[in-house]
């Protein structure tokens, strides 16, 4: 089968989108391509940012390829599925330009994983894949009855058919990915690295997927939930390929990069630096020293609240005191040049305490952000606590709640975020 895989050309005007807007490698499409090619299928993989193409230009390339199936992601790479933009404006723009010339259309991503019905109708695609997508995309290409495949949603005779819940891939043995050289050359971005000029291309890699915790705000119930570790030999094969292609920095997109001695010791010997997101309470001082020696130059650690009650209200299951967390962050900073403690705005925050804590950490070289507001993503426990299981208005409801909750939005977002219905109606193509 001929299969087109598309990461559209993103824009986030008036969006509440929290994620980084630089170009990143679309890992979910990379894995899909690898599995499809293992199955003997022919693949065209396009990425708006990395190919330097608009949605209309990508649609023309896809139409010229004449695929039997076109797979489109609704969020810019796995890295951002947990903080995806709520609106489906951009994927819809690509599909409108494609105008039925891509064969069967399939949407993958966080939106359809949690709310398949509105994703099908907003996008007008033939199928939605729920959950982690690469194995299901490969199954679809291999053929067979849709009803016999897991994790799909589609319409038949006007009725919604959902063949099962969101899919969790095996993940551990997903093959080492290699990327087009021109994509790496268009990827100078070193994700979440600060305080230095990036040298050489950056890349994103996955060492583990999911997380054993269930923090109330974390939008991973329907994808990337259960914790799995990828085989170390495969990770190293992928990183060695990236190094050979000139990459000098990789960002591990893992929800939680847990201490892993074999991988870190192998990285000590390699000419590569890297960044991680993790929980500092899970790292002992000697493992933090090894993390720095292995080449880690960026840690983003979720502290979230400065009180034990605040952390408990977010279900952090953190066993450390706030002072111990600060000490551990400061210890990490001895060998890692950029360490960030993430804080979330929690009702009842003591502004003076937050200010003093931030100043204490800053004096030790650790960055702590101004607490940011939470968005109750439909795939998070917070959403379900507020409103129950997500229904067809879940994204609209979360959006209205969020816009109504805060006077000031995080400085990484657009100044004037619009209601979701307006944002999606603003699509110029329909």
How far is residue 193's CA from residue 196's CA, in Å, rounded to a whole number?
8
SS3 124: coil
At its nearest, how many Å lie between ligand SF4 and the CB of residue 225?
A: 9
How far is residue 179's CA from residue 4's CA, in Å, rounded to a whole number?
16
At its nearest, how many Å lie between ligand SF4 and the CB of residue 214?
A: 6
- 295 near 252, Cβ under 8 Å? no
Q: Report helix angle 134-142 to 27-38, nearest 10.
A: 30
How far is residue 378's CA from residue 364's CA, in Å, rounded to a whole number?
37
At its nearest, how many Å lie between ligand SF4 and the CB of residue 279?
A: 5
- Is 214 a binding residue for ligand SF4 by CB under 6 A? The answer is yes
Of positions 56, 63, 213, 364, contacts ligand SF4 by CB under 6 A: 213
How far is residue 55's CA from residue 327's CA, in Å, rounded to a whole number?
48
| Pairing mode, strands 228-229 and 208-209 | antiparallel
- 343 near 316, Cβ under 8 Å? no
At its nearest, how many Å lie between ligand SF4 and the CB of residue 220?
A: 6
How far is residue 160's CA from residue 270's CA, in Å, rounded to a whole number?
51
Segment interacting with ligand SF4 (CB under 6 A) among 19-27, 208-216, 362-370, 407-415: 208-216
How far is residue 186's CA from residue 52's CA, in Å, rounded to a whole number?
9
Considering beta carbons, is residue 247 or 282 the nearer one to ligand SF4? 282
- 106 near 32, Cβ under 8 Å? no
Binding to ligand SF4 by CB under 6 A, coded x per residue (else -) over 165-204, reads ----------------------------------------
Segment interacting with ligand SF4 (CB under 6 A) among 14-22, 184-192, 215-223, 285-293: 215-223
Considering beta carbons, is residue 51 or 281 the nearer one to ligand SF4? 281
Total residues in contact with ligand SF4, by rule CB under 6 A: 10
Considering beta carbons, is residue 32 or 113 the nearer one to ligand SF4? 113
Element (DSSP H or E) covering residue 205:
strand 202-205
- Is 256 a binding residue for ligand SF4 by CB under 6 A? The answer is yes
How far is residue 16's CA from residue 18's CA, in Å, rounded to a whole number?
6
Place of tokens 């890699």: 205
Residues 219-238 interacting with ligand SF4 (rule: CB under 6 A): 220
Binding to ligand SF4 by CB under 6 A, coded x per residue (else -) over 276-305, reads ---x----------------------x---
- Is 253 a binding residue for ligand SF4 by CB under 6 A? The answer is no
| Cβ neighbourhood burial of 388 (10 Å; 0-12, 13-18, 19+) | exposed
Considering beta carbons, is residue 212 or 246 the nearer one to ligand SF4? 212
Q: What angle do CA 108, 109, 111 make, to 5 degrees?
A: 115
Segment interacting with ligand SF4 (CB under 6 A) among 120-128, 149-157, 209-217, 257-265: 209-217
At its nearest, how many Å lie between ligand SF4 and the CB of residue 179?
A: 25
C-alpha of 218 from chain center? 12
How far is residue 250's CA from residue 243's CA, in Å, rounded to a whole number?
10
- Is 318 a binding residue for ligand SF4 by CB under 6 A? The answer is no
Of positions 43, 97, 215, 332, contacts ligand SF4 by CB under 6 A: 215
At its nearest, how many Å lie between ligand SF4 and the CB of residue 8?
A: 26
- 298 near 275, Cβ under 8 Å? yes
At its nearest, how many Å lie between ligand SF4 and the CB of residue 315?
A: 8
Residues 334-393 interacting with ligand SF4 (rule: CB under 6 A): none
319 token code pair? 């066993």
H-type alpha helices, 260-375? 261-268, 285-293, 308-313, 322-335, 351-363
- Is 218 a binding residue for ligand SF4 by CB under 6 A? The answer is yes
Considering beta carbons, is residue 134 or 304 the nearer one to ligand SF4? 304
Considering beta carbons, is residue 153 or 221 the nearer one to ligand SF4? 221
Segment interacting with ligand SF4 (CB under 6 A) among 155-163, 210-218, 320-328, 344-352: 210-218
At its nearest, how many Å lie between ligand SF4 and the CB of residue 316?
A: 7
Contacting residues toward ligand SF4, per CB under 6 A: 211, 213-215, 218, 220, 255-256, 279, 302
């Amino acid at each position: 089968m001929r299969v087109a895989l598309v990461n559209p050309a993103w824009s986030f005007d008036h969006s509440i989108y929290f994620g980084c807007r630089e170009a990143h490698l679309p890992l979910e499409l990379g894995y899909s391509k690898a599995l499809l090619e293992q199955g003997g299928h022919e693949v065209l993989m396009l990425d708006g940012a990395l190919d330097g193409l608009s949605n209309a230009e990508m649609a023309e390339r896809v139409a010229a390829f004449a695929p039997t199936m076109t797979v489109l992601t609704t969020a810019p790479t796995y890295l951002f599925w947990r903080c995806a933009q709520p609106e489906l404006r951009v994927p819809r723009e690509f599909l409108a330009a494609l105008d039925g010339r891509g064969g069967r259309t399939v949407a993958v991503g966080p939106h359809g994983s949690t709310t398949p019905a509105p994703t099908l109708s907003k996008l007008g695609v033939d199928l939605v894949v729920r959950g982690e997508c690469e194995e299901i995309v490969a199954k679809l290409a291999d053929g067979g009855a849709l009803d016999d495949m897991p994790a799909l949603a589609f319409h038949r005779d006007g009725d919604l058919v959902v063949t099962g819940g969101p899919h969790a891939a095996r993940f551990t043995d997903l093959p080492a990915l290699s990327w087009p050289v021109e994509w790496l050359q268009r990827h100078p971005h070193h994700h979440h690295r600060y305080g230095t000029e990036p040298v050489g291309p950056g890349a994103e890699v996955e060492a583990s997927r999911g997380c054993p915790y269930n923090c109330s705000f974390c939008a991973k119930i329907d994808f990337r939930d259960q914790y799995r570790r990828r085989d170390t030999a495969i990770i190293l094969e992928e990183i060695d390929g990236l190094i050979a292609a000139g990459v000098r920095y990789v960002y591990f997109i893992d929800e939680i990069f847990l201490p892993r001695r074999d991988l870190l010791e192998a990285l000590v010997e390699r000419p590569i630096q890297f960044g991680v997101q993790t929980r500092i309470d899970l790292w002992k001082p000697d493992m933090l020293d090894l993390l720095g020696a292995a080449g880690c130059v960026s840690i983003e650690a979720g502290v979230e609240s400065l009180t034990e009650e605040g952390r408990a209200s977010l279900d952090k299951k953190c066993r450390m005191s706030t002072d111990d967390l600060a000490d551990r962050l400061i210890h990490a900073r001895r060998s890692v040049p950029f360490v960030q403690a993430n804080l979330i705005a929690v009702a009842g925050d003591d502004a003076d305490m937050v200010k003093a804590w931030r100043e204490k950490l800053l004096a030790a070289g650790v960055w702590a952000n101004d607490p940011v507001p939470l968005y109750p993503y439909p795939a998070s426990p917070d959403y379900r606590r507020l409103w129950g299981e997500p229904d067809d208005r879940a994204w609209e409801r979360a959006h209205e709640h969020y816009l109504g909750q805060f006077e000031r939005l995080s400085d990484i977002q657009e100044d004037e975020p619009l209601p979701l219905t307006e944002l999606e109606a603003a699509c110029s193509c329909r």
